[in-house]
Amino acid sequence: MLPLALLVAAGLLLTNGSEAAPLEGPLQPLPKPPVIDDRRVELGRLLFNDPRMSANGSISCASCHKLDHAGADDKSLSLGVDGKPVEVNTPSVFNASLNFRQFWDGRAETLEDQAHTVVQSPTEMGGNWSTVVQRIAADPSYRKAFTDAYPDAVTQKNIQGALADYERTLLSTKSRFDQYLAGDTDILTTEEKYGYERFQNYGCIACHQGVNIGGNMFQKFGVLGDYFAARGNPTKADLGRFNVTGEEEDRNVFKVPSLRNVAVTAPYFHDGSEQTLEGAVAVMFKYQLGRIPSEEDTSLIVKFLKTLTGEWEGKPL
């Protein structure tokens, strides 16, 4: 982890270098969708929506990652297979393929690893792979589709692969900000452009950067104040990356979340504690930057964040 001061400096340096081409700037446009065998993507879509993936057949991936709630959940904490809340807020599956790691604490390296974990997680789907593979292989239409798409038909690895391939296609395209980065500078209003400027100059961009406007580094939650003491009721999940590495410097450290579609993925933070975008931005100012912004700056930044909402299947998320 780089020291914050360095990152902020880097962010400011990058954004002040006005000669830098948009592609080399701190925020990059959404990439084109990868070319993947349609049959595998379709299998992944079916599995993603299939409650047979959970122990008692009560929930599918889509129960928590609601595609009509921008791939996230509208609850602070989703309900798992046993109807009890999970430990952390459900992030969006849209653009998750662009994150450098998966999960708030980054414990999964790939989407395939992530799928492996969630199926077995007692608080999420609560199942085991041999049962899942048996169930899927027992369905003639799945069996046929897997045989067509993979040389070795229904296997755990192929189920993980199909889910991951489907997720790789879940990119939210045509956000107004992406169109702006592509050169359509008139597409943002003056206020939205000021918002983008504030986002850079206050140093939000030191952490929320790259192609996913986040998702490419770990940072402490509470750099300039103790968020957890102020919130109360500390949980194990609050330890973040410390739970993975056991390193003292990783206490309360999380993957910086992507801000793509953030205007439509409330509630916010790993603890799902914040219901509004304005509130989330205020928390960031206080605990990550140690600043008290004017109401106007907060509102301009929120306007900018709203330009990050993309489309899926021709409709805004």
> Is 197 part of the annotated catalytic residue set?
no
| Catalytic residue chosen out of the listed positions 112, 124, 192, 274 | 124
By beta-carbon proximity to ligand HEC, the closer residue of 21 and 106 is 106
Task: Report the nearest approach of ligand HEC to the CB of residue 29 (Å).
Answer: 19
Interface residues toward ligand HEC, by CB under 6 A = 4, 48, 53, 59, 61, 63-65, 78, 80, 86, 88, 90-91, 93, 96, 99, 102-104, 111, 114-115, 118-119, 124-125, 163, 167, 202-204, 206-208, 219, 221, 223, 254, 256-257, 259, 262, 265, 268-270, 280-281, 284-285, 288-289, 301
- Respond yes or no on whether the N-terminal peptide bond of residue 267 is cis (omega within 30° of 0): yes
Choose between 186 and 191: whose C-beta lies nearer to ligand HEC.
Answer: 191
Which residue's CB is nearer to ligand HEC, number 203 or number 310? 203
Least Å from the CB of residue 281 to ligand HEC: 5
Question: Which of 106/176 has CB closer to ligand HEC?
Answer: 106
CA distance 303 to 306: 5
- CA 74, CA 172: separation in Å to the nearest integer? 18
CA distance 152 to 12: 51
CA 31 from chain center: how many Å?
16
- Can you read off the two tokens belonging to residue 83? 């109807």
Q: How far is the CB of 133 from ligand HEC (least distance, A)?
A: 13
Minimal distance, residue 287 CB to ligand HEC, in Å: 9
Q: How many angstroms separate the CA atoms of 104 and 256, rounded?
A: 8
Please give the Cα distance from 159 to 36 (Å, whole number).
Answer: 15
Phi, psi of 88 (to 5 degrees): -135, 165
- Specify whether the CB–CB gap between 253 and 217 falls below 8 A: no
**Burial of 35 (C-beta count, 10 Å sphere; 0-12/13-18/19+):** exposed
- In the complex with ligand HEC, which residue's Cβ is closer, 186 or 303? 303
Q: How far is the CB of 30 from ligand HEC (least distance, A)?
A: 15
Tell me which residues are annotated as active site. Answer: 124
